[in-house]
Amino acid sequence: MLKTELRPLLWTVGLFAVAYFLPTDSHRLQGAVQEALALTKWYAREHVILCLIPAFFIAGAIGVFVSSGAVMKHLGAGARKIVAYGVASVSGSVLAVCSCTVLPLFGGIYKMGAGLGPATAFLYAGPAINVLAIVLTARVLGIELGVARTVGAVAFSVIIGLLMAWLFRKDESGRAAAADVSTPPAHSTGATVLWFVTLIGILIAATLADTTPLYKWKWWLTGTLALWMCVQMIRFLHVQWGALALGVIPVAASAVTFPEAPQATFLLAIAVLSVILARSDGPGREWLEATWGFTKQITPLLLFGILVAGFLLGRPGHEGMIPSAWIKNLVGGNSLFANFFAALAGAFMYFATLTEVPILQGLLGSGMGQGPALALLLAGPALSLPSMLVIQTILGTRKTVAFVSLVVLMSTVTGWIFGMIVS
């Protein structure tokens, strides 16, 4: 009885000690709590509506409209490696997503039978190989870092995927044997591809940055693609055109009445779409249920992780519990430790798309070495504490630890070698 009660006793004593000695008058603690809440608020406003929710719908669509046989053929453990890893390694050039937005897409293809190697290659490449971020890196931080980031990110995605597949080859053989490839696709390949091109197009259009030439047409593109999606839903999901017409009216009215609040209109469109799918039968309702399943699994852990990341490290340009001066002092020069610390700190920090560039610009100005800068660029955008918590629920602890370790170690060595070359 003593052994069984020891753990709850220790937890109780520990929590009491934390509460008893909590330095509530500490300005750093108060600032860290403020940063945790501020980062969570910023993420909710800037990423949940336009990035995460569309990604959930795409992930749900993968689970409903893509057959296991198609996934196994192109991304399964037995697929041609040049095709599987080629597709995964360049995915980020199309999907300009952060380490958290890519999670529903990764979960979707992995649960449908994608091999661990191609799936983790996609998981790394999705946020790491972003054309706009690479161009911005070259322009702001220098052509050497831009080229090194490009080559390193593409190579990393393939090498990490191959190593993950080799490390867990026994598990993968069991998954491949258990995969159900007998279910034929419900729609033709052409119709399915066009459907996903539309969904991905909406995600890309809604998240266009103000530095892109198409930014002034952002919401016109998003609205046009959304209307095209409605047309496809009539045949693809067997939704009645009358229901769609009734749904389009309030969304169009919101866009015209409140042109200064496009996010509100986008959120209204998502709500209307959800109601239409909930009231339909067949594939439409299945799509909504699959989307909700991913939302329930990922969202709580994601928000918890963002709270913790904000508490410890703060937002870009602000401090959490860990003083930024400590980080700056630890990443100077080009020692192995400096590169390892930069990679490890980057892996736990949360970087929204493109924010890593101005952060690194400030760190380089404070004395950060070129090698640690590359290490952070290769590890930071691809990982974060929130994403690690979610990856663990999909892959399990062993595979998550292996994936994170490979990213950090490879980033460390690559940054160290790069630092020696440029110096």
Residue type at position 193? V
At residue 179, the pLDDT reads: 53
Q: Is there a contact between 369 and 332 (Cβ–Cβ < 8 Å)?
A: yes
d(CA 318, CA 11): 32
Tokens of 77: 């453990």
> Crossing angle of helices 53-65/189-206, nearest 10°?
170
Q: Is there a contact between 322 and 312 (Cβ–Cβ < 8 Å)?
A: yes
At residue 227, the pLDDT reads: 93
Q: Is 338 exposed, middle or buried (0-12, 13-18, 19+ CB in 10 A)?
A: buried
At residue 400, the pLDDT reads: 95
Please say if the pLDDT value at position 189 is more than 90.
Answer: no
- Candidates 201, 207, 213; CA nearest to 262 is 207
Q: Is 405 exposed, middle or buried (0-12, 13-18, 19+ CB in 10 A)?
A: exposed
Please say if the pLDDT value at position 164 is more than 90.
Answer: yes
Q: Is there a contact between 124 and 75 (Cβ–Cβ < 8 Å)?
A: no
* CA separation, residue 84 to residues 78, 116, 122, 240, 276 (Å): 10, 11, 10, 37, 36
**Residue in this structure with the two tokens 């990856």, named with its chain if needed:** 391
pTM over 0.75: no
Please say if the pLDDT value at position 89 is more than 60.
Answer: yes
Residue type at position 188? S
DSSP 341-375: HHHHHHHHS---TTTHHHHHHHHHHTTB-HHHHHH
Q: Which residue has the higher pLDDT, 207 or 378?
A: 378
At residue 417, the pLDDT reads: 94
Neighbours of 321 (CB within 10 A): 17
Any idea what the Cα angle at residue 264 is, between residues 386 and 297, rounded to 5°? 30
Per DSSP, the three-state class of 332 is strand
Name the pLDDT band for 177 (thresholds 50, 70, 90). Answer: low
At residue 92, the pLDDT reads: 56
At residue 73, the pLDDT reads: 64
Q: Cα 241 to chain center, whole Å?
A: 34
User: What does the pLDDT look like over 355-370, one tens digit per residue?
Assistant: 677 677 667 766 788 9
Tokens of 414: 């690559």
Q: Where are the alpha helices (DSSP H) in 44-89?
A: 53-65, 68-75, 81-89
* CA separation, residue 194 to residues 79, 112, 188, 259, 273 (Å): 23, 19, 10, 29, 19
Q: Is there a contact between 172 and 78 (Cβ–Cβ < 8 Å)?
A: no
Q: Is there a contact between 32 and 312 (Cβ–Cβ < 8 Å)?
A: yes
Q: Is there a contact between 124 and 382 (Cβ–Cβ < 8 Å)?
A: yes
Q: Which of 133-142, 256-265, 288-297 has the highest mean pLDDT?
A: 256-265
Q: How far apart are the first and last CA of the chain?
A: 63
The contacts of residue 275 (CB under 8 Å, 6+ apart) are 247
Provide, rounded to the nearest whole percent, the portion of the chain with pLDDT above 70. 87
Please say if the pLDDT value at position 423 is more than 90.
Answer: no
d(CA 397, CA 224): 42
Name the pLDDT band for 175 (thresholds 50, 70, 90). Answer: low
d(CA 265, CA 270): 9
Provide, rounded to the nearest whole percent, the portion of the chain with pLDDT above 90. 23
At residue 94, the pLDDT reads: 60
d(CA 69, CA 255): 41
The contacts of residue 302 (CB under 8 Å, 6+ apart) are 52, 100, 103, 386, 387, 389, 390
Residue type at position 127? P
Q: Is there a contact between 38 and 306 (Cβ–Cβ < 8 Å)?
A: no
Pick the range with the lowest mean pLDDT from 92-106, 163-177, 261-275: 92-106
Strand partners, 368: 332
DSSP 8-class letter at 164:
H
